[in-house]
Chain A
Amino acid sequence: MGQSNTYRRYERQIVLKEFGTAAQEKLFRAKVLVVGAGGLGCPALQYLSAAGVGYIGIVDFDKVELTNLQRQVLFTVDDIGKPKAKVAAEKLKLFNPEIQFSVYEEKLGTANALEIIGEYDIVIDGTDNFATRYLVNDACVLLGKPLVYGAVLRFEGQVGVFNYPDKDGSPGVNYRDLFPQPPEPSTVPSCNEAGVLGILPGIIGTMQAAEAIKIITGIGRPLSNIIVSYNLLNNIYFECMVSSAGNNDINFPKSKAAFKSFNYEWFCGNTHHSGEISPEEFDELRKNENVSIIDVREKDELPVIDEFPVTQIPLSRFELGVSAIAEKNKIVLICKSGKRSLSALKLLTERYPDCIAYSLKGGIDAWKMKLHQK
């Protein structure tokens, strides 16, 4: 397509006096990452492609399922079983061949998030779980990238723009200013459990694309420092101002290195099963919850633990002592290297299958080594 045709495609928006050729060119040069090609991601991707955003990244590790089609409008029955990110890019490429797409058929995690997000100007959060939402938020904060947030359930949705600096250069609020800590997973139903009216993510995802377009082109007032709650049934559009929660002391990674070793699944309470935890996870657990820490080493073993309170129940007498510790707190078992505590964990969870207990991986030695490295 020649240049005149290119501009002709966007004629109806270029003709807007607030928009014009200058805004269109900003869109051509923009790079937007859409995380999740689902209910929110599909409509956002369609309108970003329609608007002429020059470079679009699509992250999704999932495959198309029949139950997606009620809201994920890029996909057809022929796509069932195929990777969402790839199918979405193929469809959108046909729709607008001038756009470049990057497809990431992988789960966004601490290992790849900074690298991927670093390539883009703006991120659209179309994910479906808290762990990835906190991860995307924290990565955008660390990298200084504006994040267009959207979330839905049943007939209601939320939209907002995070981390978008205002004219005086203040950084703008982020998801941690709304919810510094994630909710317990059992208290928030997912769309799988509670359902969602298919058109709702269509509305919210389209609003997210609109926010991205406003940020790129500089027209209008983005939803920065604002959270919108929309109720489709009652036509309620409720805007709230958000200010910084001033929660610097809460547990979020404050450097790229800390981000890479942060366990978001753990943080969001998605790892219920008893098992081994790393020294970092142990520290996080101690900070956020009431835990009973049991030292299963024999009497007078070294090193001495005086950094936090422990109860001593040596492994040799563990079966006798175990009845005293099965309580409602979470339990962390520790020894010198993490081997005996793992044996104790087995004994404990056999006897009390409902208790939540962990074994500190690498033992107190590994924990003390981490402490000294800091």
Chain B
Amino acid sequence: MEINVLVFGQITDITGKGSLKFTDIKSTGELNQLLLKTYPLLGSVKYLMAVNKRIIHENTILMNEDTIALLPPFSGG
């Protein structure tokens, strides 16, 4: 199974690109762990996670071809 991760805002500074792909990830918790392992700097920033365009606040089971978005806070006006 494969999932797509879309990265927004200043988080792309850490990941280096706006879109990532992962395989065999079962939940958002597992995804977070893998992201932190791959990009340790993510540990110091806040971001929202959306699964298929729905913001989640709890660990969520992932399915094949799910799209996960990482949205950071902006303050500029």
Contacts and interface: CB of A to CB of B under 8 A. Distances in A.
A246 B74 CA distance: 22
Nearest to A179: B73
Contacts of A129: 75
Contacts of A242: 55
Given A153-B9, A184-B44, A187-B45, A130 B53 contact: no
Interface in A134-154: 150-154
B75 A40 contact: no
A50 interface: no
A127 interface: yes
B25 interface: no
Given A153-B10, A240-B53, A201 B73 contact: no
Contacts of A133: 75
Q: Which of B46, B53, B74 has the most CB of A within 10 A?
A: B74
Nearest to B50: A240
A223 interface: no
Contacts, number: 103
**Interface residues of chain A: helix, strand, loop or mixed (majority):** mixed
B58 to A, nearest CB: 9
Contacts of A194: 10
Contacts of A187: 44-46
A270 to B, nearest CB: 11
Given A156-B9, A188-B10, A231-B8, A151 B76 contact: yes
Contacts of A150: 77
A234 B76 CA distance: 20
Interface in A143-202: 150-154, 156-158, 177-179, 181-184, 187-191, 194, 196, 201
Contact of B54 (A196, A201, A241, A245): A241
Given A238-B53, A240-B53, A178 B77 contact: no
Contacts of A177: 55
Given A156-B8, A190-B76, 6 more contacts: A128-B75, A181-B46, A188-B46, A194-B10, A227-B71, A240-B48
30 contacts: A38-B77, A39-B77, A127-B75, A130-B73, A151-B76, A152-B76, A152-B77, A153-B75, A154-B9, A157-B74, A158-B74, A178-B55, A179-B73, A183-B45, A183-B72, A187-B44, A188-B74, A190-B75, A196-B76, A201-B76, A201-B77, A229-B8, A229-B71, A231-B8, A238-B8, A239-B53, A240-B71, A241-B53, A242-B55, A245-B57
